[in-house]
Every structure is written in C-alpha cells, then in structure tokens.
Structure 1
Amino acid sequence: MLRTKKALVNIVVALFGQILGLFVSFIARIYFVKYLGAEYLGLNGLFTNIISILSLVELGIGPAIVYSLYRPLAENDIQKVKSLMKLYKKAYTLIGIIIFIVGLLVIPILPLFVTNKANIIGLEPIFVLFVINASISYFFSYKRNLIIADQYRYVATIYRYSFFIFLNVLQIFILFLTKNYLIFLIMMILCTLLENIFVARRADRMYPFLKKKNALKLDKGTILEIKRNTSALIFHKIGGVVINSTDNILISINLGVIWVGLYSNYLLIITALHTMIGQIFTAVTATVGNLVAVESKKKSLFMFQVIYLANFWIYGLCLIGLFLLINPFMNFWLGKQMLISMDVVSFILINFYIQGMRKTVLTFREASGLYWNDRYKPLFEVTVNLIVSIILVPHYGLPGIFIGTIVSTMTICFWLEPYVLYKHGFHSPLKPYFLKYIYYLIVLLVAGVITHEVTSLIAEESVISFIFIALISLSLPNVIFLIFFYRTKEFQYWFNLFKSVFKKRMQKK
C-alpha cells in the first residue's frame, strides 16, 4: 500500500504539472511564432535534436546507477547509497564537462545541418547557448535522481514545472520587449541552473548523509553490475538518441528548416502527450523496481498486466482524439498556414500509438535491470530506421521518415522487448502478451470507427463543433473500452484501488 500511495501521489502531481506546463507551452509557442517566425522555430527543434545526440556521452551510466539504488533504498542501506551517490557525482560532473567540449567541436560543421538560414542571425552563438544549457544540467542531476529512485518523484516534479512555467512567462516577456532569441536562450540557461541548485538543496535536506564525506568504497559485485548494465545501456542510449533525435536533422537536410518548424508544432503536441503519459510510467518505475526487488515473479507479472491495460486505455483514447482533433486544433491555434495534410499526420499518429504501447514493457525492463539481454537490439533498430528513412524521404517527404521509424519498431522492438522481459524477468510464456496486444488493437479499431462515424455527423467547422467533437472523443471510447474490459481482473484491480482511495478520502472528511 505504501508503494501504491507513493506511485499515486507521483502520478497525480506529474499529470497536474504536465497539463499546466502544456497550457503554458501553447501560449509561449504563439508568441515564439509571432515574434521570431518559422525559421527560428525550426532551428530551435534542430539544435534540440543535435544536443540530444551529444547526450550519448552519458553512455547510460545514470540509469545503471539508479537501478543499483533500488535495493539499498528498500533495505535502508545508507552506506551503500552514499557510495553510489559519490560515484554518480563524479560521473555526471565529468559528463557535463565532456558535453561542453564536444559541443564546441561541433560548431564548424553546423552549416551542414542548416540548409536554409537566410533569416537566421547568429547561428554559432545560438548553438553555444544550447551547449551550455545541456552541460550544466548534469552537474546537480545526480541528487534529483536519488529523490526519484526513492519514490518521491513528485518533489522533483514540483520544482521542474515551477521553473518551467516561470521560464516560459519570462521568455514571453523577453520576446515582447526585445524579440531577441539570444536573450531568450540565456533565460533558459539561468532557469536550468537555478532549478538544479534548488533540487540539490532539497535533496540535502531529505538525505542529510549526502553532506558527509565518509563514503565507503563500493564492493566489487556492485561495480561489476554497474559496468555490465552501463555497457549494455550504451547500445540502448545510442538507439534511443538516434531514433528520437535524427528526424529533424533529416527533415532539415532534405526538406529545409521551415519544414522542421511546421513539424515541431505537431511534435509539441505529440511530445507533450508522450511526456504526460510517460510521467505516469516514470512515476511508477521506482515503485516497480521496489516490487521486483522484494515480490514474487507471479505478482510482478500480474502488475504488468494491470499497468498494460492502463497503457492501452490511455494511448488508445489519445489516438482516437488526435485523429479527430489535431488538425482542427492546429487551425484554431496557429492558423491554416501551419497545417500539415492529414495523410502525413496519420503516419505521425500511428507511430505515436506504436511507440506508446511499448511503455509498460520498457518500464518493467528498466525496473528489472534487463539491459544486457537485448543490448544489441538498438543497433539493428537504428540501422533499419535510417536505411528506410534515407531511401524514402527524397520520394515521399515527411511520411518517409515516419515509415522508417514504424518499420524498425515493428520488425525488431515489437517482439524482442517483450521476449526478453517475459523470458528473463517473468520466466513466463510470451504468447498471452501478443494475444492481448492483438485484442487491444481490435478494440481500438472498433472504438475508433464508431467514434469517427458519430463525430462525422457534426459537419460545421467552429469552436462549438470542436468542443462537441472533443467531448464525444473523450467519452464514447471510454464507454466502449468499459464494455470490453469491465469484467477483467486488470480492470477490477483499478476499480477496487480507486474505490479504496475514494473511501479513505471520504472518511477523512
């Protein structure tokens, strides 16, 4: 119950923060486009992706150490936690310095990535500010991750979104007064530094032993475990960064930086939803890590199935809503000049669902420390993705890039990730997982078709009709999902959990 309570608090705070942050992001994007234009918007997305590639320097040592923290935290082994945090501090300080140096070395080749920079001033100084922001983010984050590993993610989340909202308000004010992108980025660096300092000070108050210098040397077994997981995570890190961070680079090189700007508006919505939903899974990762460390395989498998139902329910609902609402919303938000055709958007949304349905498997894999068993998977995934994307993008444009991601995911990740989890984590046959995946897909298609047919009766394009379609998109699929799932053990678990929480709330009142 303590694990459940911590997970629920983390989820509620994360969702509230993400919704508030998303609202502020939409407003900030309006002012960004108004005062700086699509070129700088595209440059912002491009440089963000390049910085993500630089993060390969981290090599996965962070997640490896966080995994090593789960058991000593559960067992209150303070000495081992201190030793792990000492190693963590040294590693992340070195990583921050290396990222800064490597970032500066990238500057001479920047023109290769920006094919159309007619209206962009100060390309190199802009990139330097991105590099500085990335490097300083590592200097205190090891303390943030201790809070997260101890199942108190909501503490870090509150600081994260408080500074995020403050930053966006400040940047809107800067754009209104100066229309200067460099000052805009300097404010980003300032807020990153302040947020990290505040979180580090909070960690010192929560864990006073962090101030003590008498950390013991780690035992050989723990060091070997960290090295083994880190060596495996190197491949996962490469795969994740290349898959998630090369799209804007390929778009910029082949189609121009303006297309990066157009896609980035859709990406803002998609990423916001991924992040919002991801907050749920991230919030429960430490809880799952604690569960895996102390409970049976049978209980872990059941909890996987419970979370997997929630995974489908959330992503299925989002997918239906996005298909019906994303382009009308984009029209109201930024205007028709910022729209991408629905044919192209469909590939973006299919990829959104496919990637989203991996969340539960990846959460349990991370919490179980199963990095080694599929360490070479990302190399095959990256190879297929890049080959297909590079071949298709000159002929099909944006869809070619998304098809590359879809093909690589379905031919490699779709079967290999659950295979590793079920074989090495649950020691259970894999067939029920795939049968459930297919069943969920059938339910999604039924709910999607019915919802589309109902909303197609609303032909008028107006704010009122948009609201009606949104209400139908939120309610009707939920009713259909309920009809299909209300008798399942997984749904009954969630129902009883929320009923118990509600009763306790009422008793306190």
Structure 2
Amino acid sequence: MSRTKTFLQNSITTAVYQAIVMISGFIVPRIMLVYYGSEINGLISSINQFITYFNLVEAGLSGATVYSLYKPLAENDHKGISAIVVAAKNFYIKSGYFFVGLVLALSLIYPLFIHLDELSPISISILIIALGAKGFLEFFTLAKYRTLLTAAQKTYVISIASSVYVVLNTIIIFVLSMLKCNILMVYILAIVALYARSLILIIYARKNFSYIDYNEEPNNSALDKRWDALFLQVLQSVHVGAPTVLATILTNLKMVSVYSVFNMVMVGINGILSIFVSGLSATFGDIIVRNEVDTLQKSYREFECVYYMIITFVYSVTMIMLQPFVSVYTTGVKDANYYQPLIAFLFVLNGFLHNLKTPQGMLVISAGHYKETKWQTITQALIAIVFGFIFGKYLGLVGILVGMCLSNLYRDIDLMFYIPKNVTHLSYKSTLIRIIRKIVDFMIIVFPFYYIKLDISNYLNWVFYAVLTSVYALAVILVEGLIFERNSIKSIFNRLLSMVKRQKNVN
C-alpha cells in the first residue's frame, strides 16, 4: 500500500472519529449544564484534567516505543518487534500501578478542598475513581497494542475502535441523564463502553500480529528514548491541562465550566486538524529511517503549505464564529456568564499559535529528537505555568490564556529554526515567509467583522453566517495560495489524482 493511500485511509477514519468526538463533545457538556449545572460540569472537567496529568507516569513510553518500532517493522524483523513490544508491556504494567495509586490519592485529597451541595465528599471520591477507570484499562491491557498499530501506520483501527467507544459512552450518558439518574450512576455505568474498544483492538492486534512472541526477552534498551520523550509529553499535557488546573486553583468551578465550554469547541477543532496529521509521524519516521532526503524535503514542503492554509481557514472562521456559538450553546444557562469575547479571542489566538508548530513538532517525533529538544520543551512548559499563574492571579482566565499564548509563541520561533537546521536541511526563511502570508490572510478575513455585527440567535442563524464566512475565508486563502504556492498545490493535486487513477485500475 502506497504511503499516500495509507495516509488517506488513516485520515478518513480519523475524520469520522473526530466528527463523532466533536458531536459527543457538544452533547455531553450541554447535558451536564442542563441537568446537573455549571458546578458539576466544572467539577468533571477539573477531575478529568488531573487524571490527564496522572497519565504522565507513562510519559515518553508511547513515543519511544513507536519510534523504536519503525526500523524492525520496516525490516519485517519479527523477533525485534516482539522484544520491543514485551519491553513496552512490562513498562506499562509498572506505570499502571503508579497511575492507580495517584487516582486513589486524588480521590482522598480532592474532596478536602472542593465542597459542593450536590455531592458529598465520598461521592466525589467515587466519581474520581469512575473517571479514572479508562486509564486503568489503558495501562494494563491496551497500550501495547495502540503503540504497535501506530508504528505500523494502522491508526485507522484505533480510530474505529475509539469511535465505537465514544458512541456507546455518549448514548449511556445521554439516556441516564434524561432519566435523571445520579451523576455517580451515570459515570459508573459509562465504564461499560470501554470494554467494546478494548475488545476490538485486542482481537485485531492478535489476529494481524500473531507472530509476536510475548515470551521473548524484552529489549529494554530500545526504549532508552523514553526519558527524553518524557519532556515532550509533559509539554503536551501542560498545554492540554494547565489552564484547567490553574483555573481550579485561582478561580472557581463556575469559571472552570466557562473555560471548559470554550475549550470544548477548540478541542473539536484540534480534533479536525489532527485528521491531516494522523499517521504522518509514522510515515515521515519511515522516510527518515530509510534516509530518503529528497522525499523528506519535498513531502514536508507540501505538507507545511497545505497545513498552514488549513489552519488559517479554520481559525479565521473560528475567530468570527466562536463567541456567537457559545452564546447559542449556553442559552438558558443562567448560573454563569458565558459571554466572554476576550476569552474567545485568546482561545483562538492560542489555538492558531499552537498549530503553527504542528508540522515541525511532528518531525521532532518522527526523527526521535526528544533529547535534542529537551531544554526548549522545559522552557515552553515553564513559560505556560509561570506566566499563566502570575497573570491568572490578577486577570483570571484571561491571564492564564495569555501565558499559554506566550508559551506557544516561544516554541513556534524555536522550532522554526531547529527543524530546518537539524532534520529537513531546508531554509527557515520559506517557513517564516509562509507564516507572514498566513497572518496577513487571517487579518484580511477577520478585520471586516470588527465592524459587521452578526445577528445570531439560534443554530440556524449561526450555520447561515458560518457558511458565508467560510466561503469568504476560503476565497481569500485560495487566491493567496494560487499566487504564491502554485507549484506545491499543483504537485499535491497531481499526487492525489495519480492515486485515484491507480485505484481505479486495480478495481
């Protein structure tokens, strides 16, 4: 199977998965707000973020395992693959025990600091354990299969299994909430959905990787990059979770709920964008391992071109439509103020800055440059935490988001110079010029709406204006792209057209 076809197969299934996640992401918080209130919604968001941080006990293991599997998979070395998988399995089990201990500790400590009329301290403890159940299963059964499928460029299997889980989980929460069940009962019974995902991954992996010998001597040295990959994963967790944790410490659960509603939209958007990156780390990793320099440079230039066009389109439209959507989404919810235009602006700015470095960050993973970028990663994390805490103390959510923006801006600049010098050996100037053009596109699209007031009172109005805005944004970006990026766009189009023709000939 060609790399382009593999990429499209993974992308399509990821697209379906992300669409399901986005729909679920809109449904579940709305259910929490309507049936249980902003404080419960904020509580669940806060607990989930702490649990996300606890996943750091395996930080770097996934990335190191995937990277170490590129070579034996390319060489079809079954013994080498087995040795790495067994080593990963052993590490995951040890990490799992630490994870369980941290969740249990949180269940004892968290209720001492958070008080709700709706839930007793014991109920909060049980809720924490229920929300941590997904992690239990991940560490002890699934993680080794997930890393193997990722390295083998079969992320479509993970997407299918995860889609089944999300659908079942959403249905369970929706039905039980409609029946006005206790929030504890809702999340305890939702654990059932986890087993469907587990079953699919286990059956597929055992059938298609039956040659793996779990009695093989573990190759622990192959995972030495784990400790270097740790820092990259810490950074990713900081960007995902620091605002929620800081908001829990510096504000209150209602403001955490406000953050979670805006973040719900941004998570959905990042999910859509991940479609275009899904499986590419493994693809580029394979190219780097084979030392195909010309292929690397050509493919990377084309990917960066298209990805920057996509994020400019997505975030310019989001800048215009985010606050109107949140206002419609929270109609009837009166226990917190969800009209926060400045917070909406900072969310979009942070998202845009975060995704500017996605092409370069992907190559850091593909090339296994965890150790080489360790100190830059630490610096970025410190900027997010320190400035987020200082500004957040005086400005609340606004200050926390400013800290995140500064953190991403630093990393954008750092990677813009690092990747050309150490991986692609291309000029950084082409990336810089491309970014400047996209910022100009962004301003051209957004600026007129500073003067145009959109009259949006329901979802139908919102969709109408979103479509008009999207058409305008697409026109601006395509005109600029055809003027300055004609060759790259033509090359990508020809590659896709060639693949379609080959597929027709096969059929």
State the TM-score, normalizing by the size of structure 1: 0.92
Equivalent in 217, 223, 228 of residue 226 of structure 1: 223
Instruction: Look up the match of 1:30.
Output: 30
**How far apart are residue 428 of structure 1 and its match?**
3.6
Query: 1:181 aligns to what?
Result: 183
* Cα 1:429–1:505 shift into 2, 3 Å: closer
Matched, 1:215 2:216: yes
CA distance in 1, matches of 2:361, 2:223: 19
1:5 equivalenced with 2:5 (yes/no): yes
Matched, 1:203 2:205: yes
What is the CA–CA distance in structure 1 between the aligned matches of 2:261 and 2:435, rounded to whole Å?
30
- Distance, in Å, in 2 between the alignment partners of 1:19 and 1:499 is 26
CA–CA distance in structure 2, aligned partners of residues 42 and 63 of structure 1: 31
Q: CA deviation at 1:202?
A: 1.1
SS in 1 for 2:116: coil
Which region of structure 1 is more displaced relative to structure 2, 140-149 or 19-28?
19-28
Counterpart-to-counterpart distance in 2, 1:478 and 1:340: 28
Residue 113 of structure 1: how far off its partner (Å): 5.4
2:380 pairs with 1:378:
no
**1:113-167 Cα distance to aligned partner (Å, 9 max, x none):** 53x5233331111112223332221122211221121111111111101121011
CA 1:299–1:113 in structure 2 vs 1: closer, same or farther (change >3 Å)?
farther
| 2:361 and 2:415 in contact (8 A); partners too | yes
Query: Which amino acid counterpart does residue 24 of structure 1 have in structure 2?
Result: S
Q: Distance in 1 between matches of 2:361 and 2:318?
A: 24
Cα distance change of structure 1 residues 476 and 502 upon mapping to structure 2, 3 Å threshold: farther
1:21 aligns with 2:54: no
- Aligned partner letter, 1:265: V
Q: C-alpha distance in 2, partners of 1:376/1:457?
A: 45
Asked whether the equivalents of residues 143 and 200 of structure 1 are also in contact (C-alpha less than 8 Å), the reply is yes
Tell me whether 294-303 or 391-400 shows the greater mean CA deviation: 294-303
Task: Rate the CA distance shift 1:285–1:166 in 2: closer, same or farther, 3 A.
Answer: same
CA drift at 1:180: 1.5
Instruction: Write the letter of the residue equivalent to 1:301.
Output: Q
1:10-159 matches, within 5 Å, as 10-111=10-111, 114=114, 116-121=115-120, 122-139=123-140, 140-159=142-161
Find the aligned partners of 2:466 and 2:426 in 1 and give their Cα distance. Answer: 41
State how far apart, in whole Å, the 1-side matches of 2:178 and 2:392 are.
Answer: 37
Question: Taking structure 1 as reference, are residues 13 and 69 closer, same or farther at Cα in structure 2, changes over 3 Å only?
Answer: same
Which one-letter code corresponds to 1:354 in the other structure?
Answer: L
Q: Of 317, 323, 328, which residue of structure 1 is paired with 2:319?
A: 323
Q: Partners of 1:253 and 1:99 in 2: how far apart? A: 22
Between the aligned partners of 1:464 and 1:276, the Cα distance in structure 2 is 22
CA displacement, residues 66-101 of structure 1 (integer Å, 9 cap, x when unaligned): 101111111211111111111111111111121001
Q: Secondary structure at the match of 2:435?
A: helix
CA 479–295 in structure 1, closer or farther in 2 if over 3 Å, else same:
farther
* Counterpart secondary structure, 1:281: coil
Q: Deviations over 1:216-264 (max 9, x none)?
A: 453xxxx54521x212122223332233212112212222011111211
- Matched-pair contact (CA < 8 Å) for 1:160–1:195: yes
The code of the aligned residue for 2:125 comes to E
Aligned to 1:437: 435
Matching residue of 1:415: 413
Structure 2 Cα separation of the partners of residues 180 and 145 of structure 1: 36
Superposed displacement of residue 192, structure 1: 2.1
In structure 1, what is the Cα distance between the partners aligned to 2:444 and 2:154? 39
Amino acid at match of 1:191: A
TM-score (ref. length: structure 2): 0.92
8 A Cα contact 1:255 1:397, kept in partner:
yes
Structure 1 counterpart of 2:258, from 257, 262, 265: 262
- Equivalent pair of 2:315/2:348 in contact (CA under 8 Å): yes
**Displacement of 1:282 after TM fit?**
2.6
Cα distance in structure 1, aligned partners of 2:223 and 2:29? 41
* Equivalent position amino acid for 1:82 in 2: S
Partner-residue secondary structure (3-state), 2:203: helix
Inter-partner Cα distance in structure 2 for 1:358 and 1:260:
27
AA partner of residue 68 (structure 1): S
Q: What's the offset of the Cα at 1:408?
A: 2.0
Deviation, 1:362, is: 1.1
Summarize the Cα distance change of 1:113–1:300 in structure 2 as closer, same or farther, 3 Å threshold.
Answer: farther
- 1:147-200 per-residue CA deviation (whole Å, 9 max, x = no partner) reads 121111111111101121011111111112242221222233332244123311
Q: Which runs of 5+ in 2 are unaligned?
A: none
CA distance in 2, matches of 1:504, 1:332: 46
Q: Measure, in 2, the Cα distance between the counterparts of 1:188 and 1:144.
A: 22
Determine the C-alpha separation between the residues in 2 that align with 1:317 and 1:508. 35
Alpha carbons 1:60, 1:233 under 8 Å: kept: yes
Q: Sequence identity, in percent?
A: 18
**Deviation, structure 1 residue 328:** 2.0
CA distance in 1: counterparts of 2:304 and 2:43, whole angstroms: 37
The one-letter code sitting in structure 2 at the alignment partner of 1:363 is M
Change (3 A) 1:458 1:397: closer
Aligned residue pair count: 499
CA separation in 1, counterparts of 2:127 and 2:456?
44
Q: Which runs of 5+ in 1 are unaligned?
A: none
